[in-house]
Amino acid sequence: MPQSQPSSLQFFADAYPDGAVGADVTGKVTVLNATAARMLQVVVDDALGRPLADVLRLQDTNGRTWLEANRPFESINIRTGVPEQSWLLPDGSEVLVTARLVRGQPLGPLLGVGIGLRSGRGRARLDRERSDLVATVAHELRSPLTGVKGFVQAMLNRWDRLNDDQKKLMLTTVHADSERLSRLIAELLDVARLDTGRLSLYPRACDLTLLVTRVVESVRAGTARPIVLVATPDLPAVTVDPDKFTQVVTNLVENGVRHGEGTVTVTTEALADGTGVRVVVEDEGSGIAPEMRRRVFTKFWRSGVRGGSGLGLYLVNGLVKAHGGVVTIADSADGGARVETTWPTEGPRPLGP
């Protein structure tokens, strides 16, 4: 006759988000929570007291069961558990299974087995994200690399027939494409460092107007779109990592050029409370819908058909926050997007890996 669990034990077992199965040394099921019962397609009251082999109906692609493959009740006394493995549930879906071999004392006799079941959907999602990353990186690298290879090959094959102006144009294009490759690689490295908490910052007092002016002039040289800089004079120095600050502002201005319309306006001004400086980038496009403004800071978020790695705004948000600042998105006066970043006059301490 099935053994009944204390109601408090069943309550806490059912509250556990993953599946949980317990069996005593004789191989009889003593604990089974609602999540595991749902996965294994059994009823809790019917399963309690039954052999574990009848309840834990997991198979691999070769038809072996979990018990046949791992034999927990035949383990030597130094074995403490079974690492995570992928198995198939009765409905064919993937489940990740781990187990703990319960002993009263180290190297003591086995008292029972505790088994955890976790849905494989989370891992599938991570696999999809990795695939998205690989596809994104491959696509973004291929475009400039194709240009570099094409122009270099043309110069090698036709060097004596090209005049100086043609050679200069090809080399200029190769240089621009190689710069794009370098920036993409830097973005990918910064994304990895943000995700792992290993971002390095080397802040120092900087002339914000000078840094923003350099960015505007650099982007302006590569586009026919008008870019206007409205810089408030005599701004206080900000304590930032100049390379990371330049990366943020460049991303924002280029986004305005790529996705907006009309004139891109960059404004710098001091915060009213004197604690920092605000940098605002506005365009005259269609803007960003309010319901999308949270999503723009996630990895691989893209808008429109003009491409991009989908990492720019994710990096902008991470780098600004690392400096103790804030990024906000609103509508510009002309209906386009307004992206505002604040930078404190007293920034963070230097951070190393």
Q: What is the fold, at CATH topology level, of the domain defined by 124-196?
A: Helix Hairpins (1.10.287)
Lookup result for tokens 């930078």: 343
**What percent of the chain lies above the pLDDT cut of 90?**
40
User: Are 52 and 113 contacting, i.e. CB atoms less than 8 angstroms apart?
Assistant: yes
Report yes or no on whether pTM surpasses 0.75: no
User: Between vectors from CA 154 to CA 149 and to CA 159, what angle results, nearest 5°?
Assistant: 130
Which CATH code, of 3.30.70.270, 3.40.50.300, 3.40.120.10, 3.30.565.10, is assigned to 204-344? Answer: 3.30.565.10
**Backbone CA torsion sign across 155, 157, 160, 166:** negative
Q: Average pLDDT of 279-292?
A: 84
pLDDT band of residue 2 (cuts 50, 70, 90) is: very low
Higher-pLDDT residue of 131, 269:
269
Higher-pLDDT residue of 6, 108:
108
pLDDT band of residue 130 (cuts 50, 70, 90) is: low
The winner for highest mean pLDDT among 169-183, 234-248, 282-296 is 234-248
Q: Average pLDDT of 235-250?
A: 92
Q: How many Cβ atoms sit within 10 Å of the Cβ of residue 89?
A: 20
CATH top-level class for 7-119? alpha beta
Q: What is the pLDDT of residues 17-70, one digit of tens each?
A: 889 999 999 999 999 999 999 999 999 999 999 999 999 999 988 888 999 999
Q: Average pLDDT of 197-226?
A: 90
- Segment among 70-84, 205-219, 249-263, 301-315 with least mean pLDDT: 301-315
- Segment among 88-97, 249-258, 273-282, 307-316 with least mean pLDDT: 307-316
Provide CB contacts within 8 A for 271, sequence distance 6+.
Answer: 277, 278, 342
Q: Where are the domains of the chain?
A: 7-119, 124-196, 204-344
Q: In what order do the strands lie in the sheet with 19-24?
A: 29-32, 19-24, 110-119, 94-103, 81-88
The rounded distance, in Å, linking the Cα atoms of 182 and 176 is 10
